[in-house]
Amino acid sequence: MEFLSDYGLFLAKAITVVIAFGFIAAILASAKRGGSEEQGSIEVKKLNDQFDQYRDQLRSATLEPEAYKELQKEEAKQKKQEQKDAKKLAKKKSKQEPAKDTETNEEADSKRQRTFVLDFDGDVKASPVESMREEISALLTIAEKGDEVVLRLESGGGMVHSYGLAASQLDRIRQAELGLTICVDKVAASGGYMMACVGDKILAAPFALLGSIGVLAQLPNFNRLLKKHDVDMEILTAGEYKRTLTMFGENTEKGRSKFVEELEETHELFKHYVSERRPELDIAAVATGEVWYGIKAIENKLIDEIQTSDAYLQIQAKERDIYQLSFTHKKSVAEKLGLSIEASIDRLASKWWARANQRRFW
C-alpha cells in the first residue's frame, strides 16, 4: 500500500509537470507563429530514383564485380552524352527566336513528361479527401499539358456526400485537361467506384472488386424494447419528413416509403453520374448493387485494362518522370500535447506494472 501511495503522488507530480511544460510550449509556439499557421506540407518522392536504386542493388548482387563496374561506366558515359545533347539543344534554342508559345519538334521530343501519383485509401467517411484536395491543388500549380495523374484507389465506399466530394476533387484534374488514370489493386466499390469512373481509364488487378453501384441504408429499431421496459421515446419535429425512420421511435409505413423514395433518388443520381462519365456502360445491367472481380469487370466495361498499379508505373517510368505526392497535416499544439501526455502516462504505467510484478513474483 505504501508503494501505491508513493507512486500515486509521483504520477500526479509527473502529469502536472508535463501539462505545465505543454502549456508553456503552446504559448511560445503561438507567439512564434504570430497568428499565421501552416496547415501542413507536401512530400514529394521521385519513384524513378527508387526503381533505379532497386535495379542497382540487384545488379551489384548478381553481376561479377568487373561486369558491374563496366556497366556503371557505360551508363555514366551515356548520361554524360545526354547532358551534352541537352546543352546543345539549349544553345540552339537561345539562338533561335521563335514565338514564346511555340515549341520545336526536337524540343518536344527531348522533354520528358511527368506523372504525379496520389494514394487514396478510403474509409466510410472518405477521410483521405482532405489530404487529396491539397495534393491536387499543389500539382495543378505546375502541371502542364501532357502530364498525367495516377490515383491508386482503395475503397469499399461510404457516405454519399463524402464520396461525392472526393469524386468532385478528381473532376478538377479532368477540368485542367490532364490525363487521369485510376489504378485499383484491391477494391473500388460503391462510392469508391464513383471516384474511379472519373478517370480517363481504369486499371484493375485480376481479382480486384469493382461495382456495387447501389445505395444502402440500415439501422436497428429499439422501440419495442423500450416499450417492454415502460420507456417512452418522444421525437418532436417541424416538417413532415424531417425524420422518416428512427432508432428509438415507432416507425410508420409512410416514413418507410419516404425513406425508400430518397434511396431511389440517390441511386438515380449515382447511375447518372457513372453513365455520364462512362457512356459505354450498360448502366441498367451493372447498377444492380453487384460487384465483379477485375477479370469479369472488364467484360462489363467497368474497367479498361487488367493491370496492377506497380506494373503500370514501372512501364511509365521508362519514358516519364514519376513523382509520388503525399500531404501531411500539421498537428496542432493541442494534439501534440495530448499525444505527449498519453505517451508519458503509458511509460509511467509500464514502469509501475514492471515494478509491481517484480514485487509480486520476486
Range list of β-strands (E), the chain: 40-46, 114-121, 148-154, 179-184, 187-189, 201-204, 209-211, 291-293, 305-306, 321-329
- Burial annotation 139-152 (CB, 10 A radius, 16+ → b, else e): beeebeeebbbbbb
Q: What is the pLDDT of residue 269?
A: 96
pLDDT in tens, 270-308: 999 999 999 999 999 999 999 999 999 999 999 999 999
What does the DSSP assignment read for 54-93? HHHHHHHHHS-HHHHHHHHHHHHHHHHHHHHHHHHHHHHH
Contact indicator for 43, 325 with CB cutoff of 8 Å: yes
Measure CA 143 to chain center. 20
The torsion defined by the Cα of 91, 97, 102 and 104, in degrees rounded to 10, comes to -40
pLDDT in tens, 166-222: 999 999 999 999 999 999 999 999 999 999 999 999 999 999 999 999 999 988 999
Burial (CB count within 10 angstroms: exposed 0-12, middle 13-18, buried 19+), residue 17: exposed
Q: Angle CA(265)–CA(271)–CA(277) in degrees, nearest 5?
A: 140
What are the respective helix, strand and coil percentages of the chain, to the nearest 5? 55, 15, 30
Note if 318 is an active site residue.
no
- Angle between the N-to-C axes of helices 160-175 and 129-140, in degrees from 0 to 180, rounded to the nearest 10: 10
Gap between the Cα atoms of 24 and 119, Å rounded = 37
The pTM for the full model equals: 0.74
Q: What is the pLDDT of residue 35?
A: 45
Among residues 95, 228, 242, 318, which one is catalytic?
242
What does the DSSP assignment read for 298-350? TTTTS-SEE--HHHHHHHHHTTSEEEEEEEEEPPPHHHHHHHHHHHHHHHHHH
Using alpha carbons, select from 283, 255, 259 the residue that is nearest to residue 270: 283
Q: Angle CA(273)–CA(117)–CA(314) in degrees, nearest 5?
A: 115
Quick one: cell of 35? 497568428
Using alpha carbons, select from 79, 201, 103, 194 the residue that is nearest to residue 148: 201
Gap between the Cα atoms of 32 and 103, Å rounded = 47
Among residues 131, 155, 190, 309, which one is catalytic?
190
Q: 3-class SS at 158?
A: coil
Quick one: cell of 160? 454519399
Give the number of other Cβ atoms within 10 Å of residue 117's Cβ.
Answer: 23
The phi and psi torsions of 211 (rounded to 5 degrees) equal 115, -125
Pick out the chain residues at pLDDT < 50: 34-36, 102-109, 358-362
Cα Rg of the chain, angstroms: 29
Q: What is the pLDDT of residue 344?
A: 66
Q: 3-class SS at 189?
A: strand
Q: 3-class SS at 100?
A: coil
Fold of 40-89+108-212+305-329: 2-enoyl-CoA Hydratase; Chain A, domain 1 (3.90.226)
CATH 3.90.226, the chain: domain bounds = 40-89+108-212+305-329
Note if 92 is an active site residue.
no
Measure CA 214 to chain center. 23
Q: What is the pLDDT of residue 98?
A: 54
